[in-house]
Chain A
């Protein structure tokens, strides 16, 4: 048998064996990368951390604002008290002259 005839014989079109397509498709599906699923508990924990974090920041901010308002209030009352006291002192001084 000449080389040419051997080559023609090797390259001759042959029908695929039965079930070949199914085997190939199964093999492809078996190798497909599926997306990882985040466990529900982890998602819930993350949501809880976000909510608690937000609430804590809100409380800290509220406390800071409250302390600032209190300091302002005490300053205002001290000043008012001082001015009233000075005025009352003037009036008393005049009345005892």
Chain B
């Protein structure tokens, strides 16, 4: 029993400081898509990209603040000419990888637009973010690994050429 306790303590101590990286590879999907966005930026490449971000451009400055402590950014987005080009089981498999993550937002629409936002926590800190957005003609998966300041991330809106969001009550 004592050994088991020591092993449990060791497992906690040696647990990775950052969230897990998801397996985003979906064989054969890229061939069926009309447009594919595939971004794989792990530690060293992310640092290199950050070095090339300008401090005079607001969007690049904001990006640099966000990526400072990140370990990886992985994005896959597939657009299709018509609906039904990908199997719903693909989305289920992606969701299954996130069983230990905390789902913070779920959006289900009648038109078939489904979005899930997950975070992984270490104490009070968010150390991973995952977004699965499944639409009839588009599938997007985002996986960010490392400490994420969600406030900074939400402040990004309006800085990337996207108009700042306004709720109906503001209109």
Encoded as 1 (CB less than 8 Å from any A CB) or 0, chain B from 71 to 111 comes to 00101010000000000000000000000000001010100
A73 CA / B129 CA spacing, docked (Å): 16
Which of A67, A80, A93 contacts B144 (CB under 8 A)? A80
Q: For chain B, what secondary structure do more than half of its interface residues adopt (helix, strand, loop), or is it mixed?
A: mixed
- CB of A91 closer than 8 Å to a CB of B: yes
**Residue positions of A touching B, CB distance < 8 A:** 63, 65-67, 69-70, 72-93, 95-96
B53 CB contacts on chain A under 8 angstroms: 70, 73
- The CA-CA distance from A81 to B165 in the complex, in Å, is 11
Instruction: With both chains docked as a complex, state the minimum distance between the C-beta of B92 and any C-beta of chain A, in angstroms.
Output: 19
Which residues from chain B contact A84 at a C-beta distance below 8 Å? 117, 131, 153-154, 157
Interface residues of chain A: helix, strand, loop or mixed (majority): helix
- Give residues of chain B (129-171) contacting chain A, Cβ–Cβ below 8 Å: 129, 131, 133, 140, 142, 144, 153-154, 156-157, 159-162, 165, 167-169
The reply to whether B169 and A83 contact each other, CB–CB distance below 8 Å, is: no
Q: Are B75 and A75 in contact (CB under 8 A)?
A: yes
Report whether A69 and B140 are in contact in the complex, using a CB–CB cutoff of 8 Å.
no
Tell me whether B49 and A72 are in contact (CB under 8 A). Answer: yes
In contact, B63 and A73 (Cβ under 8 angstroms): yes
Does B7 touch A at the CB level, under 8 Å? no
In the complex, which residues of chain B have a beta carbon less than 8 angstroms from the beta carbon of A75?
37, 39, 75
Given A72-B41, A90-B115, the answer on whether A66 and B162 have CB atoms closer than 8 Å is no
CA distance A96 to B165 in the complex (A): 14
CA distance A38 to B39 in the complex (A): 52
Extra A-B contacts (16), CB below 8 Å, given A81-B153, A83-B133: A67-B52, A69-B41, A72-B49, A73-B49, A74-B60, A76-B41, A76-B75, A76-B142, A79-B37, A80-B73, A80-B131, A85-B162, A87-B105, A87-B133, A89-B167, A91-B105
* Complex contact B115–A69 (CB within 8 A): no
* Docked pose: A96 CA to B167 CA in angstroms: 8
Closest 6 CB pairs of A and B: A69-B49, A92-B167, A76-B39, A70-B52, A73-B49, A66-B52
B63/A74 in contact, CB under 8 A: yes
With an 8 A cutoff between CB atoms, is B66 at the interface?
yes
Residue in A closest to B116 when the chains form the complex, CB atoms: A87
Cβ–Cβ contact A79 & B75, under 8 A: yes
Q: Is the CB of A77 within 8 A of B63?
A: yes
Task: Say whether A79 contacts B77, CB under 8 Å.
Answer: yes
Give me 23 A-to-B residue pairs in the complex whose CB atoms sit less than 8 angstroms apart, sorted by A's number. Answer: A63-B52, A66-B49, A66-B51, A67-B52, A69-B46, A73-B39, A73-B41, A73-B49, A73-B73, A74-B60, A74-B63, A77-B66, A77-B73, A81-B153, A81-B157, A84-B117, A87-B131, A87-B133, A88-B154, A90-B107, A91-B107, A92-B169, A96-B169
